[in-house]
Amino acid sequence: MSVVAVWLCDRDGSMFEDRKLAEEHDKYLELAANITQLIEENIPGIDEQQSEAIGLLLAQRRELLAKACKGKPDELLQPFTYEKPVTLNASVAAKT
């Protein structure tokens, strides 16, 4: 039996074999949570699911959003595919 080091993201329970990916994922979730809180505090009556969806969307597109804020607003309209960091398979995680 071998020992495999894994990193657990306490925000959503995702497990990673790579520390860098785990930290990236955690930062993404923290940014999404802060954006969600900002929206909920400043837009009265917004639905929690909608504010979370907006927070996740903006966090996923954070690099494009930064470019847009620096004078390239068309960047936000470019096609985008979010690639979620690779997490451990549930069956692999159960073995560790």
Per-residue pLDDT of the chain (96 residues; tens, 9 = 90+): 888 888 888 888 888 888 898 899 999 999 999 999 999 999 999 999 999 999 999 999 999 999 999 999 998 888 877 766 655 654 444 444
Q: Which domains does the chain have, with CATH numbers?
A: 7-95 (1.10.10.710)
Tokens of 91: 């069956």
Residue type at position 42:
N
Note the pTM of the prediction, 2 decimals.
0.75
Q: Where are the beta strands (DSSP E) in the chain?
A: 7-8, 15-16
**CA-CA-CA-CA torsion for 59, 64, 70, 75, nearest 10 degrees?**
-140
Distance between CA 17 and CA 10 in Å, rounded?
Answer: 15
Which pLDDT score is estimated for 37?
96
Query: In sequence order, what are the beta bridge partners of 8?
Result: 15
Which pLDDT score is estimated for 93?
45
Which pLDDT score is estimated for 86?
57
